[in-house]
Amino acid sequence: MNINNIVRKVYPKLTPYKCKLADLPVEEIKAILGKETVYKLSFNESPLSPSPKAIQAMTESLGKLNLYPSSSGDPIMKKIAEIEGVGPEQVILSNGADEMIILIAQTFLEPEDEVIIPKLSFIQYLAATNLMGATPVFSQMNEDLSYDLDDILSKITSKTKVIFLCNPNNPTGTIMPKHELVKFLSKVPEQILVVIDEAYQEYAGLPEFESGVRHLNQHRFLFVVRTFSKAYSLAGARLGYGIGTPEVIAAINHVRPPFNVNAVVQAGALASLDDFEHLQKAKVLNDQGKQLIYEAAESLGLPYLKSYTNFVYIDTKIDSDLVFEKLAEYGVIVRTLKGYGLDTSIRVSVGKQEEVLAFVESFKEIMLQA
C-alpha cells in the first residue's frame, strides 16, 4: 500500500510546481549563485512596487483581518464591472488568474471532454485540463509563432468543450489581431466555451489589440481572464478576475470557494484602479525597456518577436541552456523555452532600466563570444 493507491487516477499526469533556478524567489537565487545582485527576468513581474495608494489601502485593511472578506468581492468587483461597461453579474474574482483557470476546468470539464490548447502558450491550461482528466488537443502555431486559428477550428470535434487562448500570448508576446478574433469567434460552435486569457492586456495598446470583453455578444460562452499580477504590480497579493456572459459566471460561482480572495488584495486592487499614474508609469517603463531589448537583438542579428506584453521572445540561435548559464554568471536570470521544444529561444521579462541594461550588456558579450 502506498500513496499511489489512494490518489486520483489523473495523479501521474500532474506535476508539482517545479522550482528550477529561474522559478525561485530572488533571495534564494542570490544565495545559490553567491551574488549580491540578481536581475530576475524570468517571471514577467512588474519591476515597480505596488501603487502607493494600494499599499496604503492594504495597510489599512490589516486591522480588520479578524473578519472574513467579501465573498463576491464587492466593491472591487463592481468597480471592474463599471470600468469594463458590463453588469456586476458578469464579473467573478479569483485567487490569481491561475485559480480562475482551475475553476474553469472544475466547472466545465468531464474526463471525456477535449480541450484545445495552442502548442505554444501558458502551461496552466494543460495543467488544469489534466487535473480534470480531460484530453488536451494541441493546435500548431503559424511559422511566425502566432496562433493558427484555422488549425484550432479544424481540431474542433463533438467532444470539444473548451478552447484556451492567451491574448497577448505568453511566451511569444504576440496578439491575435482584432479582425481575426472576430472572424474566429463567428466560426466557433455555440456550445464551446472560449476562454481568452488577457493577463497582459494592459500593456497591449490599441489599435491592433482588442479585448474579448468587447465581443461578449458574439459568442454565447465566452470568458475573459485578467489579473492584477502584471501591470498592477500585485503578484504577491493574488487577484485574478473573469468577465463573461452571466450564465458562465453563474456556473463558475457554483464551484468557487466562498472566500477565495483575501481582504487585503481586494482593498489594494480597488485603490490600484484609482492610480492611473502608476499604471501609466509601468507602461512607459515597459515600452522603453522593450525598445532596448529589441535594439540588442537587432544589433546581434537575432530574430525576436514584437511584444504586446512585458517580455520579449528572442531566438538566440544557440543552445538556450548555454545562454541561460552564461547570463546567470552575470546575475541575469531569463527563461528558456526548451519545454516547448524551442531549443534556442529565450523569454526575457522587461525589468526596470538598470535590469534591462544588465541583460543587454551581458547578453551582447555572451553572444559575441559564442
Indicate the angle between helix axes 246-253 and 96-108, nearest 10 degrees. 90
Residue 201 sits in the site that holds ligand PLP (CB under 6 A): no
For the four alpha carbons of 295, 296, 299 and 300, in that order, the dihedral sign comes to: negative
Residue 199 sits in the site that holds ligand PLP (CB under 6 A): yes
| Window of 11-19, 94-102, 251-259, 286-294 that interacts with ligand PLP by CB under 6 A | 94-102
Pick from 39, 108, 122, 241 the residue near ligand PLP by CB under 6 A.
Answer: 122
Residue 61 sits in the site that holds ligand PLP (CB under 6 A): no
Name every residue whose Cβ is closer than 8 Å to that of residue 324 and which is 6 or more positions away in sequence: 22, 333, 334, 336, 346
Q: By CB under 6 A, what part of segment 221-280 binds ligand PLP?
A: 227, 229, 235, 240
Q: Grid coordinates representing 294?
A: 529589441
d(CA 308, CA 312) in angstroms, rounded, equals 9
d(CA 26, CA 9) in angstroms, rounded, equals 36
d(CA 130, CA 15) in angstroms, rounded, equals 10
Residue 197 sits in the site that holds ligand PLP (CB under 6 A): yes
107, 144, 151, 153, 332 from 139: Cα distances, Å: 23, 14, 6, 9, 33
Nearer CB in complex with ligand PLP: 98/202: 98
Residues 132-171 as x/- pattern, contact with ligand PLP by CB under 6 A: ----------------------------------x---x-
For the four alpha carbons of 284, 285, 288 and 290, in that order, the dihedral sign comes to: negative
**In the Cβ-directed half-sphere of 292, how many Cα atoms lie within 13 Å?**
22
Nearer CB in complex with ligand PLP: 172/362: 172
Residue 196 sits in the site that holds ligand PLP (CB under 6 A): no
Q: Which residue is nearest to ligand PLP (CB)?
A: 96
DSSP-derived 3-state class of residue 361: helix
Which amino acid is residue 200, in one-letter code? Y
Answer yes or no: are the C-beta atoms of 346 and 314 closer than 8 Å.
yes
Residue 348 sits in the site that holds ligand PLP (CB under 6 A): no
The alpha carbons of the chain give a radius of gyration, in whole angstroms, of 21
CB of 228 to ligand PLP, least distance (A): 7
Give the DSSP H/E element, type plus range, for residue 223.
Answer: strand 222-227
CB of 45 to ligand PLP, least distance (A): 9
Answer yes or no: are the C-beta atoms of 270 and 49 closer than 8 Å.
no
CB of 190 to ligand PLP, least distance (A): 26
CB of 126 to ligand PLP, least distance (A): 12
Residues 30-49 as x/- pattern, contact with ligand PLP by CB under 6 A: --------------x-----
| Window of 96-104, 130-138, 142-150, 353-361 that interacts with ligand PLP by CB under 6 A | 96-104
Residue 173 sits in the site that holds ligand PLP (CB under 6 A): no
| Window of 34-42, 91-99, 139-147, 185-193 that interacts with ligand PLP by CB under 6 A | 91-99
Q: Could you tell me which of 167, 291, 184, 157 has the C-alpha nearest to residue 224?
A: 167
| Window of 28-36, 68-76, 93-101, 102-110 that interacts with ligand PLP by CB under 6 A | 93-101
Question: For binding to ligand PLP (CB under 6 A), which residues are involved?
Answer: 44, 96-98, 122, 166, 170, 197, 199, 227, 229, 235, 240
